[in-house]
């Protein structure tokens, strides 16, 4: 498989290394400094594009791939207000677009456990829910895409919660789910779901030890997406 890397920061570099170790080839390594190199690439020789860039570059990167009939897998967060536009473009072009806020298999299991716990907590009273995410200082967006996915899973299953907000304390509004974002090094990613009451706290935690799980998950999706069409997600890949 011939893979185009759209974004070549720490994540893109690791994806490149792991891809080659699995027998794949790298068609190009594109970042903000060499984006003009896209003009010299032959789209017909590229099997898939894996896009881990920056929020301000993600939309144009994804459009470039879709417009050229290249299946694209994106893991960039912080641009999702434009995601419906990208999805419509992929469908209109009969292309393949895959987005996940997190490609780690463990995190996606964590998403399901989070929703199951939220359903249980919906049947109880006296608990206030919150989300905490901790990442390295180079991460630009806050909250993390993974934290937003977790928050959405809680809101969907607990009556009365309407939306999340980036705040350490939303106790004054029972309809808001607070997300706290912390930045410190080294921290590949920790997410904590907390239900607090006067009697006790219940916590659910996922801690990443490295970026390798995220990178490998993206490569596995790239291998899986060959021949597929449409707007796809980790639920499609994992078939929960």
Q: Within 13 A of 201's CA, how many CA atoms are on the CB side? A: 10
**pLDDT per residue as tens digits for the range 59-90:** 999 999 999 999 999 999 889 999 999 999 99
In this prediction, residue 187 carries a pLDDT of: 86
CB 158 within 8 A of CB 118: yes
Q: For residue 171, what pLDDT is reported? A: 57
Alpha helices in 81-144, H assignment, sequence order: 83-92, 105-121
Q: How confident is the model at residue 127 (pLDDT cuts 50, 70, 90)?
A: very high
Whether 132 and 67 share a structural domain: no
Same domain, 126 and 189: yes
pLDDT in tens, 150-186: 999 999 999 999 999 998 665 568 899 999 999 999 8
Q: How far is CA 36 from the centre of its chain?
A: 26
The confidence score (pLDDT) of residue 186 equals 87
Confidence at residue 153, expressed as pLDDT on a 0 to 100 scale: 97
* Pairwise CA distance, residues 63 & 219, whole Å: 20
Q: Look up the CATH number of the domain holding residue 41.
A: 3.40.50.720
The DSSP letter of residue 43 is G
Q: Which pLDDT value is given to residue 14?
A: 97
Structure tokens at 152: 């959405």
Catalytic residues: 135, 139
Statement to judge: residues 97 and 186 lie in one domain: no
Regarding whether 94 and 55 lie in a shared domain, the answer is yes
Residues with Cβ within 8 Å of residue 190, at least 6 apart in sequence: 132, 133, 134, 135, 205, 206, 207, 208
Same domain, 17 and 95: yes
Strand ranges of the sheet holding 72-74, from the earlier edge strand across to the other edge: 25-30, 2-6, 48-51, 72-74, 96-99, 230-232
Residue 168 has what pLDDT?
67
The predicted-structure confidence for 2-17, as pLDDT tens digits, reads as follows: 999 999 999 999 999 9
The residue range of the domain holding 195 is 105-207
**Residues 84, 66 share a domain:** yes
Same domain (yes/no): 216, 195:
no
Chain segment 19-56, per-residue pLDDT in tens: 999 999 999 999 989 999 999 999 999 999 999 999 99
pLDDT at position 193 over 70? yes
Q: Is residue 109 scored above 80 in pLDDT?
A: yes
Mean pLDDT in the chain?
94
Q: Residue 231 is encoded by which pair of tokens?
A: 């707007």
3-state secondary structure of 155: helix
Please check whether residues 131 and 198 belong to one and the same domain.
Answer: yes
* Residues 25, 82 within the same domain: yes
* Residue 240 confidence (pLDDT) above 70: no
| pLDDT tens-digit series, residues 129-151 | 999 999 999 887 899 989 999 99
- Number of separate domains in the chain: 2
**Which CATH number is 117's domain given?**
3.30.360.10
pLDDT for the residue numbered 169: 62
What is the per-residue pLDDT for 97?
A: 98
In a shared domain, residues 20 and 76: yes
Interatomic CA distance for residues 121 and 118, integer angstroms = 5
Question: Does residue 43 sit in the same domain as residue 123?
Answer: no
Do 228 and 191 fall into the same domain?
A: no
Q: How far is the C-alpha of 95 from the C-alpha of 193, rounded, in Å?
A: 36
């Amino acid at each position: 498989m011939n893979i185009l890397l759209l974004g070549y920061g720490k994540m893109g570099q690791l994806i490149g290394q792991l891809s080659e170790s699995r027998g794949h080839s790298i068609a190009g390594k594109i970042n903000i400094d060499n984006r003009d190199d896209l003009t010299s690439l032959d789209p017909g020789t590229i099997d898939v594009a894996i896009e881990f860039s920056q929020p301000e570059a993600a939309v144009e990167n994804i459009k470039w791939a879709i417009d050229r009939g290249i299946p694209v897998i994106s893991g960039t967060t912080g641009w999702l207000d434009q995601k419906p536009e990208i999805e419509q473009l992929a469908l209109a072009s009969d292309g393949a677009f895959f987005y996940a806020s997190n490609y780690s298999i463990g995190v996606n299991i964590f998403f399901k456990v989070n929703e199951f716990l939220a359903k249980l907590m919906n049947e109880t009273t006296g608990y206030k829910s919150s989300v905490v995410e901790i990442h390295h200082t180079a991460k630009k967006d806050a909250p993390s895409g993974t934290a937003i996915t977790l928050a959405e899973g809680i809101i969907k299953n607990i009556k009365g919660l309407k939306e999340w907000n980036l705040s350490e304390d939303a106790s004054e509004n029972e309809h808001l789910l607070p997300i706290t974002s912390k930045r410190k090094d080294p921290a590949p990613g920790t997410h904590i779901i907390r239900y607090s009451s006067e009697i006790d706290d219940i916590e659910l935690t996922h801690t990443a030890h490295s970026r390798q799980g995220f990178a490998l998950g993206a490569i596995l999706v790239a291998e899986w997406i060959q021949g597929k069409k449409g707007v796809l997600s980790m639920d499609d890949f994992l078939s929960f």
